[in-house]
Amino acid sequence: MKNLKLTSAFLLVLALASCKKESKATDSAQNNPSAQKDTAVAPEIHKEYYGIYMGNFAGKEMITPEIGEEYEGDVYKKLSLKINRITKDSVYGQSIVNGNQRPFRGIFNETAKSFILDEPGTDKSDGRFEVKLSKDSLTGKWNAFNTSAVKSPHKILKLAKKEFAYNPNFMLSENSDLIDWENPKDFTEKYTDEETGKTETYMASKNRIASDAVFKINASKQKLTENDLKKLRKLDLEIIKNAVFARHGYAFKKQTYRNFFEQTDWYIPVSNNVDKDLTPIEKENVALLNRFIKYAEDKYDSFGR
């Protein structure tokens, strides 16, 4: 009899605990509609809307020019929004900005053809997308959850649907800007006045520049040799190497590499890790390029921007 009473008491405690958990889950879902849970095997709907939408992500930020005072202006970034799954209750996908990949979950309004998509909220840059679908485009806004933690807490976006496909033939366009604007370096220069013969020194800011080798060498197609690389600049080697990852949709965190590949119409960031997707020849070439990058030197020059 004593054991029976203990067993009954234990079951009662478990039942109360279960009810408490269900109550908390219900409260959470009511407060955040995009966090509502799917049914066990909810059927997928509107698969025609699945895919990657890319375009401008614009917001107001304080800009510091090389000359003059700081001012507020529009800053444009590239946003990749990927919708992976839609059910009656939920939408799942991911966003990529500045190489930062964040999952989101939300809801879809079939009547208005609009989405509310929430990033997790565990990163200072997380927020909510409120976007409307029109044919193959998404337009709308994004608001940061923590408005004091980011430079631009309110942004607008205009995205078009893109199809990602790996193609080993993809290259930078020969019209591409080959200057690394993100890593200027100061040099001491000398100036001699022809009339007085007096020599003065001054500081000049210069930027790395790549050569046209980046238009000719493809590390996804040809097996590279030491002779192919030994005369190249460090920036050449970096671009040739990272073009391999760009072809596979790698989301670059470094602005330098984003600047180069965002000039193309084929670069679509889809993942923070594409190592498993590299072909055997690409892996060999990347290893060889890394050896040369370690000891290579750059060419710097002066440019106006």
Question: 90 versus 68: which is more confidently predicted?
Answer: 90
- Phi then psi for 64, rounded to 5 degrees? -110, 105
**Confidence label for 12 from pLDDT (cuts 50, 70 and 90):** very low
Question: What is the tens place of the pLDDT at every residue in 192-206?
Answer: 887 888 888 888 899
Q: What's the CA gap between 255 and 270, in Å, rounded?
A: 16
Mean per-residue pLDDT of the chain: 88
Tokens of 108: 């879809």
Residue 18 has pLDDT above 80, yes or no: no
Cβ(142)–Cβ(39) under 8 Å? no
62 pLDDT tier (thresholds 50, 70, 90): confident
Evaluate if residue 146 carries a pLDDT over 60: yes
Distance of alpha carbon 130 from its chain centroid, rounded? 19
pLDDT of residue 68: 82
pLDDT in tens, 219-244: 999 999 999 999 999 999 999 999 99
97's tokens: 């900005």
pLDDT confidence band for 305 (50 / 70 / 90): low
pLDDT at position 21 over 90: no
Q: What are the tens digits of pLDDT across the range 213-224?
A: 999 999 999 999
Alpha-carbon 162 to chain mean position: 15
**Banded pLDDT at 41 (limits 50, 70, 90):** confident
All domains in the chain, ordered by first residue? 47-162 (2.40.128.120), 179-301 (1.20.58.1690)
Q: How far apart are CA 71 and CA 75, in angstroms?
A: 12
Query: What whole-number distance in Å separates Cα of residue 117 and Cα of residue 91?
Result: 8
Average pLDDT, stretch 181-202?
88
Rounded distance between C-alpha atoms, residue 254 and residue 237, angstroms? 16
- What pLDDT is stored for residue 7 in this prediction? 46
How much is the average pLDDT of 6-21? 46
d(CA 175, CA 173): 5
Q: What is the tens place of the pLDDT at every residue in 262-294?
A: 999 999 999 999 999 999 999 999 999 999 999
Q: Rounded CA gap, 59 and 61, in Å? A: 6
Say whether 18 sits in a helix, a strand or coil: helix
What is the number of helices (H) and of strands (E) in the chain?
Answer: 5, 11
CA distances from 197 to 180, 190, 192, 200, 267 (A): 35, 12, 6, 10, 53
Q: What is the pTM of this model?
A: 0.83
Three-state SS for 36-58 is CCCCCCCCCCCHHHCEEEEEEEE
Measured between alpha carbons, how far is residue 101 from residues 93, 125, 162, 232, 268 in Å?
10, 11, 17, 33, 13
Do 177 and 208 meet the contact criterion of CB atoms below 8 Å apart? Answer: no
Binned at pLDDT 50, 70 and 90, residue 14 comes out as very low
The whole-number average pLDDT for the span 48-69 is 91
Residue 72 has pLDDT above 50, yes or no: yes
- Residue 33 predicted with pLDDT over 60: no
Q: By the 8 A CB rule, do 157 and 140 touch?
A: yes
- Is the pLDDT confidence value at 20 over 80? no
Judge contact between 55 and 82, C-beta under 8 A.
no
